[in-house]
Amino acid sequence: MKYYLIAGEASGDLHGSNLMKELILQDPDATFRFWGGDLMKKVGGEMVKHYQDLAFMGFIEVLFNLRTIFRNIALCKKDIQEFEPDVIVFLDYPGFNLRIAKWAKKNNFKTHYYISPQIWAWKEGRIKRIKRDVDAMYVILPFEKDFYEKKHQFPVHFVGHPLIDAISNKVLVDPKVFRKENGLDQRPIIAVLPGSRKQEINKMLKVMISIVKNFPDHQFVIAGAPGQEPDIYQPFISKENVTLLHNRTYDLLSLSYAALVTSGTATLETALFKVPQVVCYKGSRISYEIAKRVINLKFISLVNLILDREVVTELIQNRFNKTELKKELDHILDDYQRAVLFLDYYDLEKKLGGKGASKKVANSIIKAIK
């Protein structure tokens, strides 16, 4: 059967690739065409657009790129018509995907949505479009099922979080070999995860790296995002005691003692690797002021949202500065605070459900389109 998948960022590329692998296991004749990234490309099929060409962060940034966005929407519709898939699978990325879903439903394509848009955070009115345009919704956060079914009377499938599979299937690296290959010494590693988009990286890294001199007994390692050129990190790795590793985020987290993490999926990945973290976020002033007025959340990190309490510290906007960051990193290097955090992380993993998210989604999709 023919599958058309649309992912608009790095996390969608990861989960899309794992879903594609599972679809092949259950449907050996599967043919793919997709919008995604390098991980999906490795699985096979034809990539139409890389997510790097689609990712615009913040309200103002989106406004400046409207022409490109609408051009991509038109291209996507045309490409779907020519490919004639048995099903379209949307992976998060709601601003783009919900527009395509509306068109696809009118044109009698089957529409399955894996990884719900975060309408519980903002734009809750999108539920009307989802109920109208989406044939099946697969949610990965435990509170999303109640949100859809109890609050909005829309049945969904809770499949567990795909990161559990991605991390549990990770082949462990030899610490000695890893350190030697990457020029690292025996000091504890502080992982630095500045995000996957150029805009994020430029905003976040300057402050994250500013505290390096305060922690000479540790070494800082930046996790380079897939697809980003090393040049973007160059101004930040010229400092002593800072190393850049590309496409080795999971290897890095598996050996890290603590982490500085830009808000997003990476906060959950870091928690599942049981690494104490400080969550950071800073956007443009205008985008932040707009977000404050439209987003109805107590927290920005998935760790705190899932547990519904502050487990990891969030440094947002003006609080994201050198003084606060140093203080909070000192805090999570303390043995007692680390022990408390590890217990919270185990609670988090229990709430996320078991393994097999991709397998469950693939099975449901194949049953539906048969």
Q: Indicate whether 340 and 365 sit together in one domain.
A: no
Q: Indicate whether 126 and 26 sit together in one domain.
A: yes
47: three-class secondary structure by DSSP = strand
Across the range 299-326, mean pLDDT stands at: 94
328: domain CATH number is: 3.40.50.2000
6: three-class secondary structure by DSSP = strand
Q: Indicate whether 24 and 143 sit together in one domain.
A: yes
CA–CA separation, 349 vs 361, rounded Å? 20
Range of the domain at 304: 169-351
DSSP assignment of 228-277, as one string?
Answer: --GGGGHHHHSSTTEEEEES-HHHHHHT-SEEEEESSHHHHHHHHTT--E
Q: Indicate whether 328 and 263 sit together in one domain.
A: yes
CA–CA separation, 309 vs 307, rounded Å? 6
Residues 210-236 pLDDT 10s: 999 999 999 999 999 877 888 889 888
Q: Indicate whether 96 and 82 sit together in one domain.
A: yes
Terminal CA-CA length for the chain: 9
Phi, psi of 115 (to 5 degrees): 80, 95
292: three-class secondary structure by DSSP = helix
Tokens in use for 278?
């400080």
Q: Indicate whether 235 and 251 sit together in one domain.
A: yes
Q: Indicate whether 99 and 126 sit together in one domain.
A: yes
Q: Indicate whether 138 and 60 sit together in one domain.
A: yes
The lowest-confidence range among 12-16, 22-26, 324-328, 358-362 is 12-16
Residues 3-28 pLDDT 10s: 999 999 888 998 999 999 999 999 99
Residues 269-299 pLDDT 10s: 999 999 999 999 887 666 555 555 556 678 8
Which amino acid does the sequence have at 339?
A
Q: Indicate whether 208 and 310 sit together in one domain.
A: yes
Q: Indicate whether 154 and 293 sit together in one domain.
A: no
Q: Indicate whether 241 and 309 sit together in one domain.
A: yes
Q: Indicate whether 257 and 289 sit together in one domain.
A: yes
CA–CA separation, 360 vs 353, rounded Å? 12
Residue 59 has pLDDT above 60, yes or no: no
Tokens in use for 61?
């940034």
In order of 53, 212, 272, 291, the CA distances from 8 in angstroms are 9, 33, 23, 20
Looking at the structure of the chain, the number of domains it has is 2
